[in-house]
């Protein structure tokens, strides 16, 4: 089995203490990237992340030998994260930046890619848009490629689509594996699976994880918090680090 890409960590960076704990736990597990999310678009206004105040946390994580990952909403965010991280990134390290599901301005997507393309240590991940539409999803990939990012530095993320039909289990978003396979075949970009934003609750994150076993996914992004009950965002879907270990076995039996 080829090596899977593992991205894990809290929904949002909240404090130095929380990130220190996450660095320790992520380090023990040798994750490829840790979520250190500073800018959080929210369904309704609320805690929208530490923003620029959190940039030193990115550097701290990188210096600890863990590759940081975060969402960027604007090209300026990408530039700020790169400025904070790249000078202190150990040899062989990488910075993961991603474009979230809500960020569907193609001009902004292309400009973010243009900023990322300036340094080969930056990996850009695009998440599918919230509504099911194959052409739109492929279009996101095409727009960021048009911005100059190399295919080798690009990841695609399936975070599910808003439910349009029966949804007896109450998933927040539902996967479409057939579409995912077609987009992967057409674009040639590896697919990262996001059970957290599909599940919405911990039992559903596990159910969504189970559905992915044996599917053509190349990695996962999972929200993990040391104290989910007191998380500032997405508290119902963040798993503990122990649950994360169980979830990985569910998704990748025999990994």
Q: Residue numbers of the site for ligand PEP (CB under 6 A)?
A: 11, 37, 71, 100-102, 127, 159, 197
What CA–CA distance (Å, rounded) separates 96 from 175? 23
Give the one entry of Mn ion, ligand PEP, none that residue 60 binds, where binding means its C-beta sits below a cut-off of 5 to 8 angstroms depending on kind: none
Give me the helices (H) in 55-118, please.
55-63, 75-85, 106-116
Q: CB of 127: closest distance to ligand PEP in angstroms? A: 4
Q: CB of 1: closest distance to ligand PEP in angstroms? A: 25
Which residue minimizes CB distance to ligand PEP?
100
Residue (6 or 149) nearer to Mn ion, CB? 6
- The string of DSSP letters for 9-39 reads E-SS---HHHHHHHHHHHHHHT-SEEE----
By CB under 5 A, name the binding residues for Mn ion: 11, 234
Q: CB of 197: closest distance to ligand PEP in angstroms? A: 4
The DSSP 8-state label assigned to residue 128 in this structure reads P
Residue (63 or 240) nearer to ligand PEP, CB? 240
What CA–CA distance (Å, rounded) separates 52 from 79? 11
Give the one entry of ligand PEP, Mn ion, none that residue 37 binds, where binding means its C-beta sits below a cut-off of 5 to 8 angstroms depending on kind: ligand PEP
What CA–CA distance (Å, rounded) separates 3 from 150? 21
What CA–CA distance (Å, rounded) separates 153 from 171? 31
Give the one entry of Mn ion, ligand PEP, none that residue 158 binds, where binding means its C-beta sits below a cut-off of 5 to 8 angstroms depending on kind: none
Q: CB of 216: closest distance to ligand PEP in angstroms? A: 19
Which residue minimizes CB distance to Mn ion?
11
- The string of DSSP letters for 131-184 reads S--HHHHHHHHHHHHHTT--GGGEEEEE--B---S--TT--SSB--HHHHHHHH
Residue with the two structure tokens 């987009």? 183
Give the one entry of ligand PEP, Mn ion, none that residue 226 binds, where binding means its C-beta sits below a cut-off of 5 to 8 angstroms depending on kind: none
Q: CB of 198: closest distance to Mn ion in angstroms? A: 11
């Amino acid at each position: 089995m080829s090596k899977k890409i593992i991205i894990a960590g809290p929904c949002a960076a909240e404090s130095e203490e929380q990130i220190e704990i996450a660095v320790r736990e992520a380090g023990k597990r040798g994750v490829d990237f840790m979520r250190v999310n500073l800018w959080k678009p929210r369904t309704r206004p609320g805690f929208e992340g530490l923003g620029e105040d959190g940039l030193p946390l990115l550097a701290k994580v990188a210096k600890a030998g863990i590759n940081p990952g975060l969402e960027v909403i604007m090209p300026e965010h990408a530039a700020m994260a790169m400025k904070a991280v790249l000078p202190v990134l150990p040899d062989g390290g990488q910075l993961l930046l991603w474009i979230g599901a809500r960020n569907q301005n193609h001009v902004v997507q292309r400009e973010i890619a243009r900023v990322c393309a300036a340094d080969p240590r930056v990996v850009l991940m695009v998440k599918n848009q919230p509504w099911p539409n194959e052409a739109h999803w492929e279009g996101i990939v095409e727009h960021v490629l048009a911005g100059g990012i190399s295919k080798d530095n690009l990841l695609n993320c399936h975070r599910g689509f808003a439910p349009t039909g029966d949804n007896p289990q109450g998933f927040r978003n539902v996967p479409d594996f057939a579409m995912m396979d077609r987009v992967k075949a057409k674009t040639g970009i590896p697919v990262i699976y996001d059970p957290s934003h599909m599940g919405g609750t911990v039992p559903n994150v596990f159910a969504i994880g189970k559905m992915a076993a044996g599917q053509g996914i190349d990695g996962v992004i999972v929200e993990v918090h040391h104290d989910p009950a007191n998380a500032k965002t997405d508290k119902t879907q963040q798993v503990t680090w122990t649950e994360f270990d169980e979830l990985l076995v569910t998704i990748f039996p025999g990994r």
